[in-house]
Amino acid sequence: MKFIVSSTYLLKQLQVLGGVINNSNTLPILDNFLFELDHTELIISASDLETTMSSKLEVESDNSGSIAVPARLLLETLKTFPEQPLTFVVEENNTIEISSNHGKYALAYADANEFPKAVSLEDATSTTITGDILATAISKTIFAAGNDDLRPVMSGVFFQFSTEGLTFVATDAHKLVKYSREDVQAEQTTEFIMPKKPLNLLKGILAASDDSVIIEYNDSNAKFTFENTVLICRLIDGKYPNYEAVIPKENPNRLVIDRTQFLNSVRRVSIFSNKTTHQIRLKIAGAELNISAEDIDYSNKAEERLTCDYQGDDMQIGFNSRFLTEMLNNLTSSEVQLEMSLPNRAGILTPIDGLDEGEQVTMLVMPVMLNS
């Protein structure tokens, strides 16, 4: 088995696939990339059993064969090469030899048959979406997903596809984000929960990509196919909580404010907040928003006044500044709207501008009890 490939082209593909490999694997074979050569086509795969990703590369060869190559060793070697053709030759003594312009390097390889086979999806339904829309949907929601192992369904992003549009939801019970698109539809209604790791991989690869992504899914797995790459992952099993029930419908108090100004103010004031609760207080009266925080243990306190456009009753409400900062950071609009009903009911944050047609973002943040 022998093939020739460009060093930078190979490195670029392997760095993407390397994101799948865990630092500590239960099966030693998972520390390897699987190379499957079929003449001028080389398919490279990486897996952690839950997620498997493969890329198809064009190489110079008239051979076929498959081996498993140590991932870390190969990546570290490739990073040091300038752009040049590399020749890979499988030797008799269970090593693969790489020849560059300057030298030769031999790596011990493993048996390709030990590498886990990717699952094939039976009775799958499919939907097609553009890469950048999917990447945006992931980055707008994934930060709100939880990390609680006891509630695995909340540690992923909920995909809800219908003939009317696509909805993506993430929540950790303190904050919730719902991102929906009406300009993209699925042929039939379906829902599933995607784990974070494959979503982070997709987000990185698909940002600013115009390529179409084919999403196929059944009850247990999902498959994403785009350009020369295929990603297959196991879905999170379980029923997603009824998120619509927690979004307050009647919110008579509406605050509209410049997003950057609000974000900077919350950031500054929160430095003075209690380090365990991160509590900040919003006091709204007329066209004035007063943001304050206090850490009684250390006698630290801060207060800022901002002008805003407010319609509603005067009110005071407390929020965890970290959640508010995360949400404001994740929006790209110049102005945001915060809708509230009562100091003990969730606040709803939405962007006023900067959205595509058919695009909607709703962010929900739970209040914290104020010490009077």
**Domain limits at 306?**
248-368
Q: How far is CA 164 from CA 123, 180, 326, 358, in A?
A: 23, 10, 29, 11
Nearest to 127 by CA among 195, 216, 20, 56: 216
How confident is the prediction for the chain on average, in pLDDT?
Answer: 95
Residue 81 has pLDDT above 90, yes or no: yes
Q: Measured between alpha carbons, how far apart are the two ends of the chain, in Å?
A: 75
* Mean pLDDT (whole number) for 273-300: 95
Whether 120 maps to a domain, the answer reads no
Residue 278 has a pLDDT of 96
- Amino acid occupying residue 173: A
Do 93 and 190 share a structural domain? no
Please say whether the dihedral angle defined by the alpha carbons of residues 66, 71, 77 and 78, taken in this order, is positive or negative. Answer: positive
Residue 54 has a pLDDT of 98
18-24: long-range contacts (C-beta < 8 A, 24 or more apart)? 18/46, 18/71, 18/75, 19/200, 19/201, 19/204, 20/46, 20/47, 20/48, 20/51, 20/52, 20/53, 20/197, 20/201, 21/46, 21/48, 21/71, 22/48
Do 339 and 264 share a structural domain? yes
Residue 208 has a pLDDT of 82
Residue 290 has a pLDDT of 98
Per residue in 6-21, pLDDT (tens digit) is 999 999 999 999 999 9
Whether 119 maps to a domain, the answer reads no
Whether 90 maps to a domain, the answer reads yes
Whether 280 maps to a domain, the answer reads yes
Do 267 and 238 share a structural domain? no
Do 21 and 7 share a structural domain? yes
Confidence of residue 91 (pLDDT cuts 50, 70, 90): very high
Do 99 and 45 share a structural domain? yes
Alpha-carbon distance of 112 to 135, in angstroms, equals 33
Per residue in 188-236, pLDDT (tens digit) is 899 999 999 999 999 999 988 899 999 999 999 999 999 999 999 999 9
Indicate the DSSP class of residue 244: G
Residue 82 has a pLDDT of 95
Pairing outcome for strands 166-171 and 347-351: unpaired
Whether 97 maps to a domain, the answer reads yes
Give φ, ψ of 146 to 5 degrees: -80, 175
Query: Which of 226, 244, 262 marks a domain boundary?
Result: 244
Q: Domain tally for the chain? A: 3
Q: Which residues pair with 226 in a beta bridge?
A: 229
Do 330 and 284 share a structural domain? yes
Residue 370 has a pLDDT of 84
Confidence of residue 77 (pLDDT cuts 50, 70, 90): very high
Residue 149 has pLDDT above 90, yes or no: no
Query: Which of 187, 220, 244 marks a domain boundary?
Result: 244
Q: What percent of the chain has pLDDT over 70?
A: 100
Residue 230 has a pLDDT of 97
Do 170 and 282 share a structural domain? no
Query: Which of 93, 114, 135 marks a domain boundary?
Result: 114
Whether 256 maps to a domain, the answer reads yes
The 10 Å Cβ neighbour count of residue 93 is: 7
Q: Can you give the CATH number for the domain in which 53 is found?
A: 3.10.150.10
Residue 30 has a pLDDT of 97
Whether 356 maps to a domain, the answer reads yes
* Mean pLDDT (whole number) for 31-44: 97
Do 159 and 234 share a structural domain? yes
Do 259 and 312 share a structural domain? yes
Per residue in 335-358, pLDDT (tens digit) is 999 999 999 999 999 999 989 999
Per residue in 100-116, pLDDT (tens digit) is 998 999 999 999 999 99
Whether 225 maps to a domain, the answer reads yes
Do 177 and 101 share a structural domain? no
Do 159 and 231 share a structural domain? yes
Do 10 and 32 share a structural domain? yes
Residue 371 has a pLDDT of 72
- The rounded Cα 224 to chain-centroid distance in angstroms is 14
Residue 372 has pLDDT above 70, yes or no: no
